[in-house]
Amino acid sequence: MNNIPPASGFWTYVAECLRLLYWAYFKPFTFKRWLRDIHPELKPIDNPFYKRAEFRTNPRLRRYAGQVWWLTAVVPMVTVLLVALVYTLVSGKSFNWFINCVFLVGLFIGRVVDRGGNKNRLIIVFVATLTIFLTILFLSGIAYEVTGGVAAGVMAGMVLGVAASVAFTVTGGVSLGVAPEMPFGMSLGVAAGVATGVAAGVALGMAFSVTFGVEFGVASGVALGVALGVALGVASGVAAGVATGVAFILGVLRVYFWLPELLWILTLFLLFSNEKRVNCLRYLPPRFDELIILPLPFMDVVIVEAYRNNPAAARETIDYLITSTNQQKVAAQAISGIAVDILNLCQRLSDIVDIANQLAWIPSPPPKELGAVLPQFLEISQNVRASQEATSLYRQYELLNIPITALRQLGQSLALTKDARVAVSFGNTAQSWLTILETAQRTLNEQAQRSKEIRQVYIAGNSLDPETAKNRFKGRIDIFREIESLALSEQPPVLLLYGGRRTGKTSALKYLPYRIQANIVPLLVDLQGAASATTLKGLAENLAQQIIEAARRLPRTVNLPYPDAKKVAEDPFPALQTWLAEIERNNSDKQFLLCLDEYERLGEVVEATSSRAPLNFIRNLLQHQRKWILLFSGSQELSELDDYWSDYLINTRALRMTYLHESEARDLIQQPVENFSNIYEPNAVDEIIQVTRCQPYLVQLVCYEVVELLNRDIRRNRREADTAKVTAQDVKEVIPVVLERGDQYFRELWKSLTDSDRSLLRRIIYRETPTPQDKGVIRKLTRKEILTPEGNAFQVPLVQKYIEQLLEEE
């Protein structure tokens, strides 16, 4: 049983109506969220009566519809009453109550017509028409102008009453109810124009901004205000037209609310000292007006200073500004100010490492208003943290090269920026950080040299990155020379770089920009990542993004434009063709070498999309873009791919990536980096060469494990640091660990073989002699560098040991 008194329920209903009116004008974003709770498809611009069929099952929707109706019916009446009193007192002229009351009657009838069903609407329209007719007959003895005015007033009110619900519900309904009445009640002229302009400008400006976005809404409102001023200037005189237009524009810009808000923020800023600024946060103007168009000063300053005393409250305010207002620019300025404060406080390496934690609350991706500088500092901080997590002092020293290089590049870009505020704010920070990192790197180098342990410099696993791996990449001079020679030929062929897994293909492509002429621009694209796209649009966007990023990573950065996003969405690959042609025209002195790594993955995209558009794009590129050369890199030859590939890859030159030459492997073992100590006995080097067959990944892996073995013995005082040497026995001792750590490599190799391949390898391990029928399989496994040409032995002993171990477990 409901025990709420009727009077209490009435005032609750009135309070809810007033809250709706307040939200509609001052808190439209809160209003939108509230409406989504009522109905997922309901928006502030929707007429709730259009969802009348759902009223029974959704009582909140029915209650909201009723409140909207009462607001659009009653508020215009109250507003006219108040304006009339003010007008009479200020101007000393009488207000035309008769015409306005007639108009309000028509407005009310229109709202009733709109609320009713189709059958009720017909009845009400009939009654209203009859009423107007009788009124005209009754007033037939009165002046024709008065009679016509009554009829016109009622009819205009009815039309606008219905239109009010169609336009913008609460705000539009109120404005359409108020604005047209002002000229009726006042003497036509400046006063009427101002009143009309204010009422319509505020309401329609707010409605446009919420519906179409603030920027477009303001622009539309201002343009409409200018047009309105010109039109009324012609119709009712220049003064009235100008007054109406100016008042309308000021309403769109919400100047009438902005002026008191300006005084309020100035008061807050002047009354509260820096330490007490946190108390201002809950009283900032956006807390009660979510749609402030004109800028207000000091808001970002208040938030930055509040952060120093209460970070949680400042972060909550920033989050509110981003998600619930149109003050994203203020939020971005506050974030930038807070970040500059925190970045400038860094005095030690540990402070820089902790930056990522301190600023983890910044949205990801950060607001576009922040620009590109702050995200770069966050990335540098993360790279510094990664360097500190390295397992050895020397590796920490090496990994610091990445953030140091990034800071130098950032400092150079800041010196050239046109934004003086950004240059000053972040330039000093970049220089301070650079000094800290360079000092830390020198300290790490000294500590590494004093350490008794052997430097762990070998990298076994991912491809080598020139920025961190430096001189660890050995050999491949013949590959680089051939790529350069073919790229500079008059009619460059399609290049196919193929070889077994982890033979260094990707590493070679990463080092390519450092090993060939500067007028050849290699752009590395990882198709393994691009192939994750399930649509042609997604693939095209991924390719473009990787090409742009690859150009930025070059030793001499090349800044490429972005493709037209709209055209890419409409027809992806023709848009890419146009984009590549534009790049070619803008860089006529360069040859672009597009390196598609893991190219076999394109086949997955062809299957997923049932389209050969990516391959047609490649063929078009080969035929029409003379400045673009294609290099495919993968583990398969063309003969191993589906037949349709041969239609697209014509005039292909294959470059085989095989194992290192023995001299290159010895260089990698004994001099992986500059000034590396001689830690190997000659027979140990021979043993590594023998068990790995100079396979680069396996060489790195074996060397890594023997260094770990030596360091364990040094820590346990089993060997002297000054005299410790790797022996052949040490190499044999780490082989079980090598097989375990390299399990993924060996397993991938085994899974890539067919049943006939595996059958032959089993028989060879069991010392069976191959038969003449095995010649085809032997040739295939020889090309894969698994068997010797004779077909009776493995090329790499470690591969044989792994397969033997695998067969024992079966």
Q: What is the pLDDT of residues 695-751, one digit of tens each?
A: 999 999 999 999 999 988 988 888 887 788 999 999 999 999 999 999 999 999 999
Which of these, 300, 310, 301, lies nearest to 278 by C-alpha position? 310
In this prediction the pTM is 0.62
Domain boundaries, the chain: 6-186, 188-253, 274-450, 476-659, 666-809
- In angstroms, how far is the first alpha carbon of the chain from the final one? 76
Question: What pLDDT, on a 0 to 100 scale, did the predictor assign at position 284?
Answer: 92
Residues of the chain with pLDDT under 50: 1, 118-119, 121-122, 133-134, 136-168, 176-179, 181-241
Q: Angle at CA 131, nearest 5°, toward 125 and 136? A: 130
CB 181 within 8 A of CB 234: no
Residue of 246, 107, 97 whose CA lies nearest to 175:
107
**Rounded Cα distance, 263 and 257, in Å:** 10
Residues in the chain, total: 810
Q: Residue 171's pLDDT is what? A: 52
- Output the CA angle 437-439-443, nearest 5 degrees: 115
Q: Closest Cα partner for 281 from 309, 330, 305, 317?
A: 317
Query: Distance between CA atoms of 58 and 39, rounded to whole angstroms?
Result: 8
Q: Could you tell me if 799 and 765 are in contact, meaning their C-beta atoms sit under 8 angstroms apart?
A: no
Contact 211, 46 (CB under 8 A): no
The Cα–Cα gap between 634 and 600 comes to 7
Cα gap 588→373, rounded to integer Å = 31
pLDDT at residue 200, as a whole number: 46
Angle between helices 755-765 and 775-783 (to 10 degrees): 90
* pLDDT tens digits, one per residue of 756-792: 999 999 999 988 888 888 899 999 899 889 999 888 8
Phi-psi region at 648: left, alpha or beta (left = phi > 0; alpha = psi -120 to 50): alpha
Element (H, E) at 703: helix 696-715
Q: Is 747:805 a contact under the CB 8 Å cutoff?
A: no
Beta-carbon contacts of residue 417 (< 8 Å; ≥ 6 apart): 423
pLDDT at 168: 43
Give me the CATH topology for the region 476-659.
Rossmann fold (3.40.50)
Contact in structure between 506 and 577 (CB atoms under 8 Å)? no
* H or E segment and range at residue 595: strand 591-597
Neighbours of 295 (CB within 10 A): 11
